[in-house]
Amino acid sequence: MSLRTFKNEFQVVILAGGYATKLDPLSSGDVPKALLPIANRPMLHYVLDYFSEMACDDILLITQPSFASKFTEFLHQASPGWKVDLCVVEAQGGTADALREVKDKIRGDFVVVSCDLITNLDIHLVFDIHRKHDSSMTIVTMTPEPSKDDVDGGLFLGTNESGDRLLFYQPVEDTFDSLNVRMAMLRHFPTLKIRRNVLDQHIYVFRNWVLELLDANEHLRSIQYDLVPFLVKAQYRSLGPASTTKSASELFNGTPGPGGPTGATLTDAEKVLSGSYAGVNALIPASTFTPWLSYSSRYAPKALSTVPTFRPQTAVGSPNVVADESAGAADFSQLTADSGDIAQETDFVEPPQRVVCSVVDFSRIRSPTGTALFCRRAATLSAYVRLNLDIHRRSILPIGMEKYLKASEELSTAAKNSGFRVFNSVIGNHCNIGEGVTIRNSIVMDHVTIETGVNLENSVVSAQCTIHRDAFLKDSFLAPGYTVEEEAHHVNDKLYLD
């Protein structure tokens, strides 16, 4: 029997609380990111339609007080088929803090997603993998195509040989000096595959007891930067005393670490790394960064201890450490040793159960029906523009978009008969566009006035803007309500209200 019959087993938590500074100036002022339009629909509409189609209709929508009225109005006008509980949380907290505030409303296991997710991935495939491995947490990642995908906010990601067990997770932006891989992990998983600039798609499936863990560890503020790395490390923490820590140089100079060989020398480095000395679990090639902070939090960083490092005379390769060159693997020219001792880290409360972390690589999923799959996020300005234009030209077709695209096509047809030209662009509702206007590869939101002779190229015009006659804009972004003066010339500008 298919596990999909348990339709309501997982509650859905949608995070829609932030201003999205990466989308400035579009989300400046009182405009929440989740209600920014993509192809003339609020991006939150896509997420709710998606989970409705997936028969996940028990939804918590989390936002902050300043946006509560806007979401209330949106839900009042939205589809009656959605079952959404709007939850208002403190504006200054992180995403993990938001989960703490709504924990009493989460009755079982749950999935957390960002409000900017647009995908046709069958979420039940992720749920099935989560159940199969009895996972505490399962995340969805994606290997980007450099020519198409924005790799802002990428990860160093380590998995087992089969690629479904998450063993190492570190945001590139939090990698100050070096990568640190724990000896305790290598004892259990001697083969580690490390990739760089992997994209976290912000789809997280959690067991309910993770909420208890959050309650007990208030320093965990962010899901991505605190909770996920914490759970990954909790899979293989060593409970031994600090005295068990041995530096790489000590190991190679003949001082045995935990179970390590006696008399290992510099010339033995390749043997150790290739597994000839099965007892040595302390060393793994890392990037050329040094040193590493044992624990870091974006919200409350703690510089605790410097990990000892060993630098071989030449880069050492190992069949036990797989560098995925296609994913931009790091240069393996430095060795880092760490026992993973709890005493080296900040105070915390251990998870109440055994921790298992799984990962689903979206790039490896193939649709059984041959349908082109997509999993995209409007996390940056460039990603936001691409999503708008790709949906407009039907490169991707999210759930429920057919009728909206038909209306957009009718608008484009009307434009050809109205004295202005539109090429591969999205035009919002209730816009007033004058004669001789050319709009190319651009997004124009609702209630915009564009006067005669304006040339608009590769730009985004927010709602309520006015562009006076003969202005020229290229590669520019306008905040809501902005006015462009007559014959103004803007290239690569972000235009804000005073």
Does an H or E element contain 271, and which?
helix 269-274
Q: Given a cut of 70, is residue 293 above it in pLDDT?
A: no
| 37-38 vs 494-495, strand pairing mode | unpaired
Q: Which of 67-81, 201-215, 420-434 has the lowest mean pLDDT?
A: 67-81
Indicate if the pLDDT at residue 455 is higher than 80: yes
pLDDT at 117: 94
What the chain holds in terms of domains, given with CATH numbers, is 1-120+374-400 (3.90.550.10), 121-202+217-362 (no CATH), 414-495 (2.160.10.10)
CA atoms of 109 and 134, how far apart (whole Å): 12
Residue 148 has a pLDDT of: 54
Among 65-74, 168-177, 361-370, 459-468, name the one with the lowest average pLDDT. 168-177
**Rounded Cα–Cα distance for residues 348 and 346 (Å):** 6
3-state DSSP assignment of residue 110: strand
pLDDT of residue 466: 97
Label residue 447 by pLDDT band (50, 70, 90): very high
pLDDT score for 83: 86
CA 395 – CA 372 distance, rounded (Å): 10
What pTM, to 2 d.p., does this model score? 0.79
Distance (Å) of CA 305 to CA 136, 180, 225, 414: 29, 12, 19, 66
Check the CA dihedral 409-410-415-416 and report its sign.
positive
More confident residue, 414 or 181: 181
Q: Which residue has the higher pLDDT, 2 or 313?
A: 2
SS3 breakdown of the chain: % helix, strand, coil, rounded to 5?
25, 25, 50
For residue 305, the SS3 value is strand
37 vs 279, residue with greater confidence: 37
Mean pLDDT for 157-177 is 86
Are the beta carbons of 299 and 276 closer than 8 angstroms?
Answer: no
Is the N-terminal amide bond of 25 cis, ω within 30° of 0? yes
Give the pLDDT band of residue 77 (cuts 50, 70, 90).
Answer: confident
Give the model's pLDDT for residue 403: 57
Residue-level pLDDT at 368: 78
- How remote is the C-alpha of 290 from its chain's centroid? 26
Contacts for 425-429: CB closer than 8 Å, 24+ residues apart: 425/389, 425/392, 426/39, 426/40, 426/388, 426/389, 426/392, 428/37, 428/40, 428/463, 429/40
| Res. 342: pLDDT tops 50 | no
Average of per-residue pLDDT values in the chain: 76
Q: Degrees (nearest 5) of the Cα angle 153, 158, 161?
A: 140
pLDDT for position 310: 26
pLDDT score at 350: 78
